[in-house]
Amino acid sequence: MSDFEENVSHLGEFELIEKIKEMIGKPGRGELWSGDDAAVVHAPEGNLLLTIDTVVEGVDFDLDYATGEEVGWKALAVNVSDVAAMGGRPVHAVASLSVPPATRTGTALGIGRGLATAADRWGVSLVGGDVSRSSEISVTVAVTGRCERPVTRDGASPGDAICVTGTLGGAAGGLAALRAGRGRDFPDLRSRQLLPEARAHEGIEIARSGAHSMIDVSDGLAADLGHLLREGLGCSVHPNRLPIDPSLVTAAPELGLDPLTTAIVGGEDFELLFCMEPDRTGALGAELTAGMTVIGEVTEGHAAIGGRSLHEWKEMSWDHLRSR
């Protein structure tokens, strides 16, 4: 039987773990990865970053349009993005995979392969994990990182330039395309949604440049910008400066989307949003492979993007739990 004919109940928990273990790398000297009660690794020196995130079938992904590989990749990427948003370098990952017994073996192994591929992409050691039974597929990944100077969400001051890497709105555009059954027609948007690129290298460069505060754009620009503005701070962001994903601009009419709203409210772009002294933005921009755009400035007034307050924009955005 091929991996695609059988399901994980035929394979069994231990064999599934064995097969996934074959996909991951080899431990360093004195280290012990998967196969014991806990992994043993060398502790990073100085600050240790820790983050954890779960992706759930039917909420964060849908196997009608995502492969197992893509699910695994994204589960790891979102954690790497969190480490990048602190200005850190991701070091280790552990993963917990929950699958219904009727899950195709090929899907479960695909998730393992996606985790391993993404780990390799960002130089992360995938050192261990766990498989459980469940009624829906979910993948939880915890990542460690190291950093010299953590860049937190607090720290912005009036007059700071507000900057963002890369482009916005592509991931939400991709989700809209996939939900409309048109993922193949818009491969760039599809990739933005299913195979996000965490800005690992950029996060380190931004921290080195002395940025005052940073977050990754997971809940959408309006929501995440709000997290960078402590009480008493506002912002002035210019809609015509927003780096809207060019593929989204092209696809928007066919997908029935407003590109600007999608770029402001759509989540999961995993770009880095940060505040820094305006006169240092030019030098930094030249360093960042993903590019960066100054989209506005921190003020002492209202928090607004164009004519709408952040609050008004956020009301359009997505709270995982709130009923609508």
Contact set for a second copy, span 100-139 (CB under 8 A) = 101, 127-136, 138
Shortest spacing between CB 138 and a second copy, in angstroms: 6
Distance separating alpha carbons of residues 74 and 111, to the nearest angstrom: 10
Shortest spacing between CB 128 and a second copy, in angstroms: 6
Shortest spacing between CB 40 and a second copy, in angstroms: 5
Which amino acid is it at 311?
A: H
Nearer to a second copy, 191 or 309 (CB): 309
Distance separating alpha carbons of residues 209 and 284, to the nearest angstrom: 7
Residues 250-309 that bind a second copy (CB under 8 A): none
Nearer to a second copy, 198 or 295 (CB): 198
Listed ranges 6-14, 229-237, 260-268, 297-305: which one lies at the site for a second copy (CB under 8 A): 6-14
- Check if the beta carbon of residue 196 is closer than 8 Å to that of residue 270: yes
Shortest spacing between CB 240 and a second copy, in angstroms: 29
- Check if the beta carbon of residue 178 is closer than 8 Å to that of residue 293: no
Nearer to a second copy, 35 or 253 (CB): 35
Neighbouring residues of 145: CB distance < 8 A, sequence distance ≥ 6? 44, 48, 49, 50, 51, 83, 86, 88, 89, 90, 91
Q: φ and ψ at 216, to 5 degrees?
A: -100, 150
Distance separating alpha carbons of residues 318 and 321, to the nearest angstrom: 9
Contact with a second copy (CB under 8 A) among 153, 190, 199, 212: 153
Pattern 26-65, binding to a second copy, x per CB under 8 A? ----x-x--xxxxxxxxxxxxxxxxxxxxxx-xxx-----
Regarding 322 and contact with a second copy (CB under 8 A), the answer is yes
- Check if the beta carbon of residue 191 is closer than 8 Å to that of residue 70: no
Nearer to a second copy, 131 or 248 (CB): 131
Which amino acid is it at 241?
A: R
Distance separating alpha carbons of residues 324 and 236, to the nearest angstrom: 29
Shortest spacing between CB 8 and a second copy, in angstroms: 5
Nearer to a second copy, 198 or 304 (CB): 198
SS3 21: helix
Regarding 216 and contact with a second copy (CB under 8 A), the answer is yes
C-beta atoms surrounding 184 within 10 Å: 10
Listed ranges 65-73, 78-86, 238-246, 303-311: which one lies at the site for a second copy (CB under 8 A): 78-86
